[in-house]
């Protein structure tokens, strides 16, 4: 358990643990990253150096510590956005106003501007429309006949389509947004193509927010009480008009929300890979639909969603964790993946067990930066599982499991393609 002391300055110097290099290695399918497994064994707090950025950072892997650090304002995201903290990503260009890099009170202000679009009730209202979208994609795949690439036909276009709906992208603009988003998330086109696509997307978002700022009435975009019109671009347009957000901030908030569907593509890609390579799990889901909600939570807990670690925080004060001094100014990472495998919270953590209570997992993060899209993602995952299992009872891999290609040298892990037949 993490603890606090007020007298750290008086403590004698303590030896620091060694700095461990954490290179970006090739990872196979859904294996748990071996370096992370070692770091978990080495201690509650270790020190790491990632391929880019400067210096080293602390890494917390135990569940309680991860929860404490992510919910403690002494660890700042804003401070981390203005430093070259050791990191996995080669490029680092945080946009001012991005939710992920904001501290309170800005973070609340930015997040409140869009939160109405991601509530349980907003997502519930969206569900029938999302069901139509997934049905249409499955119809197309079935009409063309097997084999098919499930990623290309369903797992990638579905989240992008649903995101466009939530954002309020007009139907005749969706193809353009779809193409930009694909370019940004694809690993194929290279850095320059991705930068161009980002420019296009952010420029388009800026114009859309400006239009809505100028053209819509308060009542249309302020809240969701009328039950149908609560799109993100209108919410942001209204917030900019009322002076709650700057236009650049609105663009910074909207960008990750527009691209966020990538996470569902890759996460559900890993989920279907696991189901299609573990007949026992697939059978359980098929024979016992009531097992699916808990099973999905267990799969979310188990899936190694990302490589290495996400975004760092900076300690703004000295903090004592298990007798180790984290000094003011030190960079700190947490691993949600490691916390999800903490044996004190999830016994026999490497085993996928649909009968365990996995609900306490931290796959969507914790604290103020908890994933904005968590309810929205769960809805999409449920629809994907229910629809594909029910409509394609014979769904299976069309190639041996070891021939499913997985993304490499990437932040978010998942299959590049999932060749299936039925």
Per CB under 6 A, residues contacting ligand HEM are 70, 99-100, 111, 163, 256-257, 260-261, 263-264, 267, 305, 310-311, 336, 363-365, 369, 371-373, 376-377
Question: Any bridge partners for residue 314, and if so which?
Answer: 76, 331
Other Cβ atoms less than 10 A from the Cβ of 76: the count is 20
- In whole angstroms, how close is the CB of 99 to ligand HEM at the nearest point? 4
Give whichever of 69 and 325 is closer to ligand HEM, judged by the CB atom. 69
CB 265 within 8 A of CB 159: yes
**Which two structure tokens, joined as six digits, stand for 304?**
């190694």
Give whichever of 46 and 372 is closer to ligand HEM, judged by the CB atom. 372
Element (H, E) at 112: helix 106-112
- In whole angstroms, how close is the CB of 207 to ligand HEM at the nearest point? 20
- In whole angstroms, how close is the CB of 185 to ligand HEM at the nearest point? 12
CB 261 within 8 A of CB 163: yes
Burial classification of residue 309, based on how many CB atoms lie within 10 Å of its CB (0-12 exposed, 13-18 middle, 19 or more buried): buried
Give whichever of 19 and 411 is closer to ligand HEM, judged by the CB atom. 411
- In whole angstroms, how close is the CB of 375 to ligand HEM at the nearest point? 10
Give whichever of 81 and 267 is closer to ligand HEM, judged by the CB atom. 267
Q: How many CA atoms lie within 13 A of 122 on its CB side?
A: 24
Give whichever of 237 and 365 is closer to ligand HEM, judged by the CB atom. 365
Give whichever of 264 and 321 is closer to ligand HEM, judged by the CB atom. 264
Triad 79, 82, 84: Cα angle to 5°: 110
Give whichever of 254 and 325 is closer to ligand HEM, judged by the CB atom. 254
- In whole angstroms, how close is the CB of 32 to ligand HEM at the nearest point? 16
Question: Any bridge partners for residue 48, and if so which?
Answer: 20, 57
Cα–Cα distance between 308 and 412 in angstroms, integer?
Answer: 10
Cα–Cα distance between 51 and 53 in angstroms, integer?
Answer: 7
- Cis preceding linkage at 358, omega within 30: no
- In whole angstroms, how close is the CB of 398 to ligand HEM at the nearest point? 25
Identify which of 176, 170, 197, 175 has the alpha carbon closest to the alpha carbon of residue 186.
197
- In whole angstroms, how close is the CB of 145 to ligand HEM at the nearest point? 30
Element (H, E) at 83: none
């Amino acid at each position: 358990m993490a603890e606090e002391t007020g007298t750290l300055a008086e403590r004698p110097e303590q030896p620091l643990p060694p700095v461990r290099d954490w290179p970006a290695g090739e990872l196979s399918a859904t294996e748990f990253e071996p370096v992370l497994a070692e770091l978990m064994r080495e201690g509650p707090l270790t020190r790491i150096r990632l391929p880019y950025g400067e210096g080293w950072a602390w890494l917390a892997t135990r569940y309680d510590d991860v929860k404490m650090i992510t919910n403690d304002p002494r660890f700042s995201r804003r401070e981390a956005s203005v430093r070259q903290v050791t990191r996995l990503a080669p490029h680092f260009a945080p946009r001012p106003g991005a939710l992920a890099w904001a501290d309170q009170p800005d973070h609340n202000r930015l997040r409140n501007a869009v939160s109405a679009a991601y509530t349980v009730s907003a997502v519930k209202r969206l569900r029938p429309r999302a069901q139509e979208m997934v049905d249409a994609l499955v119809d197309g795949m079935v009409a063309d006949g097997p084999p098919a690439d499930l990623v290309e036909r369903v797992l990638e276009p579905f989240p992008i389509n649903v995101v466009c709906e939530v954002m309020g992208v007009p139907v005749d603009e969706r193809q353009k947004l779809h193409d930009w988003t694909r370019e940004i998330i694809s690993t194929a086109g290279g850095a320059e193509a991705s930068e161009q696509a980002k420019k296009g997307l952010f420029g388009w978002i800026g114009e859309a927010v400006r239009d809505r700022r100028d053209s819509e009435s308060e009542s249309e975009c302020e809240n969701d009480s009328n039950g149908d019109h609560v799109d993100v671009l209108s919410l942001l347009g209204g917030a900019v008009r009322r002076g709650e957000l700057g236009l650049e901030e609105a663009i910074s908030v909207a960008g990750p929300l527009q691209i966020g569907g990538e996470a569902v593509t890759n996460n559900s890609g890993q989920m279907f890979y696991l189901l299609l390579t573990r007949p026992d799990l697939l059978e359980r889901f098929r024979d016992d639909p009531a097992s699916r909600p808990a099973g999905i939570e267990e799969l979310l807990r188990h899936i190694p969603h990302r490589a290495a670690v996400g975004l760092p925080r900076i300690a703004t004060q000295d903090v004592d964790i298990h007798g180790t001094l984290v000094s003011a100014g030190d960079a700190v990472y947490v691993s949600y993946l490691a916390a999800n495998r903490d044996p004190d919270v999830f016994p026999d953590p490497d085993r996928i067990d649909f009968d365990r209570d996995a609900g306490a997992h931290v796959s969507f993060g914790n604290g103020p930066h908890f994933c904005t899209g968590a309810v929205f993602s769960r809805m999409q995952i449920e629809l994907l599982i229910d629809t594909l299992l029910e409509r394609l009872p014979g769904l299976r891999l069309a190639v041996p499991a070891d021939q499913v290609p997985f993304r490499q040298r990437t932040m978010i892990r998942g299959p590049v393609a999932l060749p299936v037949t039925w």
